[in-house]
Amino acid sequence: MIPIKPVSTLAPGVPKSTIDLTHIPLDVASKYLAPGSLSFSALPPLSLYIHFPWCVRKCPYCDFNSHEVKGSFDENTYLSALRADLESSLPLVWGRKIHTVFIGGGTPSLMSAAGLDRLLSDIRTLLPIDSDAEITMESNPGTFETDKFRSYRQSGVNRLSIGIQSFHSGHLSSLGRIHDGDEARRAVEIAQAHFDNFNLDLMFALPGQTLDEVHQDVDAALAFAPPHLSLYHLTLEPNTYFAKYPPVIPDDDLSAEMQDVIHARMSDAGYFNYEVSAYAKPGKQAKHNLNYWNFGDYLGIGAGAHSKLTFPHRIVRQARYKQPQTFMEASLKGNAVQEAAEIEVADLGFEFMLNTLRLHQGFSVNLFQERTSLLLNSIEKELLEAESKGLLSRDHQRIAPTPLGRRFLNDLQQLFLKE
């Protein structure tokens, strides 16, 4: 049974007070809903996200759902809870194929080789997965063991995403990372030995970082010829240690100069900046993330995981319980979902543009109606305003942010936010 927030759109003649949709499966609850304006002729591609919530140490900049390991964690119970969560979700995705799998965290590489093998075996048992599906696992230096990563590869993981952040030991210390520069390099070497496809995460505009040090970090990463690089600007997120005790970071002018240097260096090395923070060699874009940015569907299982699922006449978002212990208890009782709600029709245009405008090449005109069930003219006023400000370009085939729009992406996206 899936908890659903009561909706305001009821069939004619049905008093709202007489219907409790809080614990009715979606397919049953739908008969109480009035026919809406949404009608999808085909469902978008479906990805699977699995959240592993534990870390060795909580980084001061991190606002993800991660929890420090206090001695140990109950891997077996958590894996059982993941399976139970997936089993409870099957009616929502019945008959749909999984195109990509992403195991994120937290630090999933804390999982044992046997645990990872059990997890992927459970997934294959319960869901149809594409034969060439991209299966990514996040990992952090300091948790790399050659034998364990060899086993991960044999179990079916075919792409790693490694949280390097920097090759500079001093900056790693200021970020609260558990590894140093030498361990970062060793982690990449182990990844290279077992994986053809991997991503390196780097951050810039770090406390006390100079332009020359940004050069050094990028060059150190490029020396490994990674198929994919993600380069993130450090942001001081709410509810983090850095938000409470903010460090001195490069000002806007210096951080913009850093970003320009990164872009030039990556372009010279043959990488395409296909998304705001993502650079890839040809054909090595992150398929899982591309599905997010193209407003595809994803089923999220695990503590704090989110889902976006399309049905013939609506799109629903879900959120799981965040605390690992609470999640395990709830999931093993058959109800890991803490809340679920339909996306309001008025919000669909903004949500679509919030994602797709992150892509350098934008989106095909037809994709808007395919993924929102709305006509493109529903956002015509906003498109015209974005064009008039030089933030957007479009023709009969494609809509994309201009170089100015990419630089001021937040301003561009906010134009589509309905009042």
- Measured CA to CA, the distance from residue 197 to residue 136 in angstroms comes to 9
Q: Is the distance from CB of 141 to CB of 186 less than 8 angstroms?
A: yes
The mean-pLDDT minimum among 207-221, 237-251, 366-380 falls in: 237-251
pLDDT in the model for residue 352: 98
Mean pLDDT of the chain: 90
Of 154, 143, 175, the C-alpha closest to 52 is: 143
Q: What ranges do the domains of the chain cover?
A: 46-290, 346-414
What is the average pLDDT across 112-135? 97
Rg (CA), the chain: 22
pLDDT in the model for residue 146: 85
Q: Whose structure tokens read 């605390």?
A: 323
Q: Is the pLDDT of residue 12 over 60?
A: no
3-class state of residue 262 by DSSP: helix
- Measured CA to CA, the distance from residue 86 to residue 304 in angstroms comes to 14
What pTM does this model have? 0.89
Work out the pLDDT band at 36, boundaries 50, 70, 90: low
pLDDT in the model for residue 143: 79
For residue 252, count other CB atoms closer than 10 A to its CB: 8
Assign residue 83 a region (left: φ > 0; alpha: ψ between -120 and 50; beta: otherwise).
alpha
Cα 357 → chain centroid = 15
Q: Is the pLDDT of residue 160 over 90?
A: yes
What is the average pLDDT across 107-135? 96
Q: What percent of the chain has pLDDT over 90?
A: 81
β partners of residue 137: 103, 160
pLDDT in the model for residue 63: 85
pLDDT in the model for residue 31: 39
DSSP 287-353: HHHHHHHTT-EEEEESTT-EEEEEETTEEEEEEE-SSHHHHHHHHHTT--EEEEEEPPHHHHHHHHH
| Amino acid letter for position 89 | S
Q: Is the pLDDT of residue 29 over 50?
A: no
Cα 148 → chain centroid = 25
Work out the pLDDT band at 34, boundaries 50, 70, 90: very low
Q: What percent of the chain has pLDDT over 70?
A: 91
- pLDDT tens for 340-366 read 999 999 999 999 999 999 999 999 999
Q: Is the pLDDT of residue 11 over 60?
A: no
DSSP 83-147: HHHHHHHGGGSTTPPEEEEEEEES-GGGS-HHHHHHHHHHHHHHS-EEEEEEEEEEE-TTS--HH
DSSP 44: P
Specify the long-range contacts of residues 164-167, CB closer than 8 Å, at least 24 apart.
164/188, 164/200, 164/201, 164/202, 164/221, 165/201, 165/202, 165/203, 166/202, 166/203, 166/206, 166/217, 167/216, 167/217, 167/220, 167/221
Q: Whose structure tokens read 């140490």?
A: 57
pLDDT in the model for residue 15: 29
Work out the pLDDT band at 144, boundaries 50, 70, 90: confident
Q: Is the pLDDT of residue 285 over 90?
A: yes
pLDDT in the model for residue 142: 81
Determine the Cα angle at 88 with ends 319 and 287, to 5°.
Answer: 60
Q: Is the pLDDT of residue 408 over 70?
A: yes
- pLDDT tens for 303-340 read 999 999 999 999 999 999 999 999 999 999 999 999 99
β partners of residue 417: none
What is the average pLDDT across 92-117? 96
346-414 carries CATH number 1.10.10.920: yes
pLDDT in the model for residue 60: 87
The mean-pLDDT minimum among 10-19, 159-168, 275-284 falls in: 10-19
Thinking of the domain 46-290, which architecture would CATH place it in? Alpha-Beta Barrel (3.20)
| Alpha-carbon distances, residue 39 vs 32, 305, 317, 375, 416 (angstroms) | 17, 27, 17, 11, 22
Determine the Cα angle at 97 with ends 93 and 98, to 5°.
Answer: 95
For residue 210, count other CB atoms closer than 10 A to its CB: 12
Assign residue 205 a region (left: φ > 0; alpha: ψ between -120 and 50; beta: otherwise).
left
DSSP 198: E
Q: Is the pLDDT of residue 295 over 70?
A: yes
Q: Is the pLDDT of residue 35 over 50?
A: no
H/E stretch holding 401 reads strand 398-401
- Measured CA to CA, the distance from residue 264 to residue 259 in angstroms comes to 9
